[in-house]
Amino acid sequence: MAPSTPLLEQVRGWLVRRVAYYAQCGAAEIDVEVPLAEYGLESVYTFSLCGDIADHFELAIDPTLIWDLTTVATLAHYLAAVLVQRRELGDTLGGKGLFR
């Protein structure tokens, strides 16, 4: 199921701000279709960004995710989809914390 648009917007906006932070530029300068590596987000920042994503969305992810989904756009799509899936699973199980 496709992620809801507001959620996708929210995830993308957050990612743009993090990428701009590491790239040391303004958020307006980040093009979501340009590979992160071109903003100088080489291996060093991959690990930092991965940790940020894991903490912010409470997801267990590996840094290789950022190597495979190389742009803000693809990363945001993936994360939003995962978040929707988790919310639906949580609703099904009636869990409050489990798949939050």
Partner 1 sequence: MRADSGPLIRQPWETLRMPEPVAPGPGVTELDRALGDPWDKDNPAGFVEFLAADERAEMSAAGEAILDRYGFNAEFVPVALGGRFARMDRLIEVLRTVWRRDPCLGLGHGLSSFIAAVSAWTAGDSSQRSAVANLLLANRRVAPVYHEFGHDNDLSSVNFSATSNGAGWLLNGRKDLVTDVRRADAMVIFARTRPGLGSRNHGQFFVPKPTAAQGRVRYLPRSPSSGMRGVRLDGAEFTNYRIPGESLIGEPGQGVETALRSFQITRSALPGASVGILDTGLRTALSYVRERRRYGGAATDLPYVRAVIGRAFTDLLVVDAFSSVAARALHLLPGETGVLASAVKYLAPRVLMDAMAELSTVLGAHSHLREGRYAIFEKLARDLAPAEFGHASRDACRATILPQLPRLARRAWFNGTALPELFWVGGDLAPLRFSGLVTGAPGSDSLCAALVDISEHYAGASPLGRLADRFRDELVLLRAQCVELAPKDLSLDASPAAHAVVERYTLVLAAACCLGIWWHGSGHGVPFACDETWVTAALDRLNRRLGGKVTTREETRGLEESMFRSAVRRHDDGRLFDLTGREVPG
Interface residue list for partner 1 (CB under 8 A) = 21-24, 35, 37-38, 42-48, 50-52, 54-55, 62-64, 67-68, 70
Please give the Cα distance from 54 to 73 (Å, whole number).
Answer: 18
Please give the Cα distance from 34 to 84 (Å, whole number).
Answer: 25
Smallest separation, CB 24 to partner 1 (Å): 6
Of 27, 32, 26, the residue nearest 12 (C-alpha): 32
Closer residue to partner 1 in complex, CB, 9/58: 58
Smallest separation, CB 63 to partner 1 (Å): 5
